[in-house]
Amino acid sequence: MRRSPAFEAFRYAAILLACAITLVPILWMVSMAFKPIAEWQATGADLTWFPKEPTLDNFRYIFGESGSNLIVALDRTAAKPILSSLLSASLGTLIAMAAGTSAAYGLSRFGAGGNLPLALIQLRLFPPMAVMIPVMMMWSFLNLMDTWWGLALIYGIVTLPFAFWLMKTFFDDMPREIEEAALVEGCSRGRVFWRITLPMMRAPLASAALFVFILNWSDYLIALLLTTREWVTIPVYMASLSSSMTGQLYGAKAALGLIAAVPPVFLGIMIQRHLVRGLTFGALKQ
């Protein structure tokens, strides 16, 4: 069916609008990160899209080297929050993927677990604040408050349902004949899982792990409630970037936001050859 020129024009206009809505905030953040304080405090006609005098002062500032006397010194730099986010999000993703993949395989292949799928999805049905109150009490009793490993543990628990349901869908779409052939040849069930099933699931594992990592990396509420000072994460630290002299430190926040975008983007580039295949795994199944 031949499409009319008007339809094609409308389609391309819609695509351009969607790209603009998506990319304009990113462009503004990148521009703000390299503006000196006089430019990111400007209003009205003085406000510009691109920095007139690009500077790295915002990056120096969040790491403790202020490039302007107009900004008060920070009581803590961004180095430890970045480390906290990396450690807690990475370990939390590892916990969620290990437990979720094992549970998903058991349920998909053996029907084990009973009401496990319903029990896991219930973790996401409760309001976060209602769940976090008893968690705070337990973490305080176990001396896990304000520790990166305590934060990683709750991240693994909270994102476990996502890892489980994603991997279960992938396992359900994977043909069982290959595993059955290996079992007939004398492979044990454990060897089949480690040497055959998991290598075939590299693409789904990569896409699921990236999704879970982004959820952990961008969390604000859990980190706000379970950390106080020593191991705050990037979102919590970013919210504290303000000054009684200058108000919100938009340049410093933009610089930190640009740094925070690096790990997810880097991981996405590293697994891009698996990402599309993982997201479409089983889409052509009849």
- Where residue 8 falls among pLDDT bands split at 50, 70, 90? confident
Record the pTM: 0.84
Q: Residues 51-75: pLDDT tens digits?
A: 888 888 888 888 876 555 455 666 6
Residues 211/162, Cβ–Cβ less than 8 Å: yes
Residue type, 54: P
- Across 38-42, 92-96, 176-180, 273-277, least confident range: 273-277
Q: How far apart are CA 271 and CA 139, in angstroms?
A: 35
Span 256-277, pLDDT tens digits? 999 999 999 888 888 777 666 5
Residue 1 has pLDDT above 60, yes or no: no
Does residue 97 carry a pLDDT above 90? Answer: yes
Residue range 105-113: average pLDDT? 79
| pLDDT of amino acid 89 | 94
> How far is 231 from 84, CA to CA, in rounded Å?
6
- Residue 155 is predicted with a pLDDT of 94
pLDDT in tens, 118-143: 777 777 777 777 888 888 999 999 99
What integer is the mean pLDDT of 13-33?
Answer: 88
Confidence of residue 216 (pLDDT cuts 50, 70, 90): very high
pLDDT of residue 286: 40
Tell me what pLDDT residue 283 has.
Answer: 46
Task: Give 165-215 pLDDT, tens digit per residue.
Answer: 888 888 888 888 888 888 887 888 888 888 888 888 888 888 889 989 999
